[in-house]
Amino acid sequence: MTATMLITMCVLFALSVPVAVAVGLAAIAGLTLHTPLPLVLVAQQAFAALDKFPLAAVPFFILAGNLMGEGGISRRLVDFAKSLVGGVQGGLACTCILTCMIFAAVSGSSVATTFAIGAILIPAMVKHGYPVPFAAALQASAAELGVVIPPSIPMILYGVAAEVSIGELFVAGFGPGVLIAAAMMLAVWVWCRIKGYGKSDHAGRLPVVKATRDAALALMMPVIILGGIYGGVFTPTEASIVAVFYALVISCFIYRELDLETVLKILRKSVVSSSVIMSIIGMAGLFSFLLTRAGVPAQMGAFIIATFHSGWSFLVAVNLFLFVIGMFIETSASIIVLAPILAPVAAQFGIDPVHFGMVMVVNLALGMITPPFGVNLFAACSVAGISLDRMARSLVPFILVVFSCLMLITYVPAISLLLLDLVYR
């Protein structure tokens, strides 16, 4: 059954069938050809996979990110970030990374971050002399922070799939997020000095005080959301609703950059994005159920334990495996299917489940910026108006930077767990 499901899924992926449909059809093929179970199980298991309270946060964080992008919040965040780091050569590129980091603290989605920030900064970087492929590659890579900096939709999915505290995952995400952002900013600054990019980046830069004043309400958004979560005022799921309400009020009644027609357009766009993710989760739940019934997790666990005799070698194998998987399979589906299989095995090697969650999230986030199916790449290409092959060469340095950070996150658990120990343990 397992072979039938995997082969069917890979063939459908090769035919460019949507992820949710490919996973669902592969599961149905395994169900009908190799088990006596009725087809009603498809609906039953899909519902069971979706019937989890934390998943309610997913559509609301997507909606909050779209409201921020259209309602003037993201533009003010860009001005604020530029006032801080835009005064040096390559400052506009560093602004892109810093803005994505701040935006990520509310949106939870890398694709939403790509569109919201890229629509402003890619044209700005091109205007200041940056090559279009470089600007698009930088935006796609920086937007990866949308799933590493909490709140993060993949962290919510991992927490649900592996039965790990989502609050603890959010706290642990700060260390890896800051590390990746800092490493990217350093690499970009050095690269710009070598290539001569960004010598006029200081033009149009607002004074720090004025930019901070203009962006004060926008900057309060992540403070309220994250402060409320860590202060115990509301859960991560409730925080997503607060984020939507805050973004709506600020954009419509204070900044006055959203009208009813635009709000309806944003709602439609958010519904489509949420439906895609929820469909993947539902079908992945069915897929995972059948794999578990076939004994795959137990067999894989036994194989890994017999093959790898230390946590160190296990993490090497997992990182290589996830890196390849992330290149071809969407992050949400990968986490939902693989977390219940790999997390228990990691625990047998004494690896903290929260730390392992960070390894999974960061590694699979790399898949968002690696060809051929990186979703951030397609979003950045859409904004920049270029083809993926033109951007591919400019991606290599950013992939290497993020991969280097992944190795540090993997083998220095304190990067993820230090803040968690101070807050929770």
> Does the pLDDT at position 358 exceed 90?
yes
CB 146 within 8 A of CB 171: no
First to last CA, the chain: 43
- Per-residue pLDDT, 108: 66
What lies within 8 Å, CB to CB, of 425 at 6+ separation is: none
CA 196, 366, 23: angle at the middle one, nearest 5?
145
Burial of 223 (0-12, 13-18, 19+ CB in 10 A): exposed
19, 113, 193, 306, 388 from 376: Cα distances, Å: 16, 9, 26, 37, 11
CB 121 within 8 A of CB 78: yes
- Per-residue pLDDT, 373: 62
> Does the pLDDT at position 93 exceed 70?
yes
What lies within 8 Å, CB to CB, of 76 at 6+ separation is: 214, 215, 218
- Per-residue pLDDT, 283: 83
The tens digit of pLDDT for each residue in 328-351 reads 676 777 787 788 888 888 888 889
Mean pLDDT (the chain, rounded): 83
Residue with tokens 């720090």: 208
The tens digit of pLDDT for each residue in 55-72 reads 777 788 778 878 887 888
Q: Give the helix ranges, DSSP H, for 71-207.
A: 73-85, 91-107, 110-127, 132-142, 153-162, 166-172, 174-195
Stretch 371-388: mean pLDDT: 75
- When pLDDT is cut at 50, 70 and 90, the band that residue 180 belongs to is very high
| Better-scored residue on pLDDT, 330 or 358 | 358
- When pLDDT is cut at 50, 70 and 90, the band that residue 199 belongs to is confident
Helix, strand, coil % (nearest 5) of the chain? 80, 0, 20
The tens digit of pLDDT for each residue in 253-299 reads 888 888 888 889 989 988 887 787 788 778 877 887 887 777 766 67
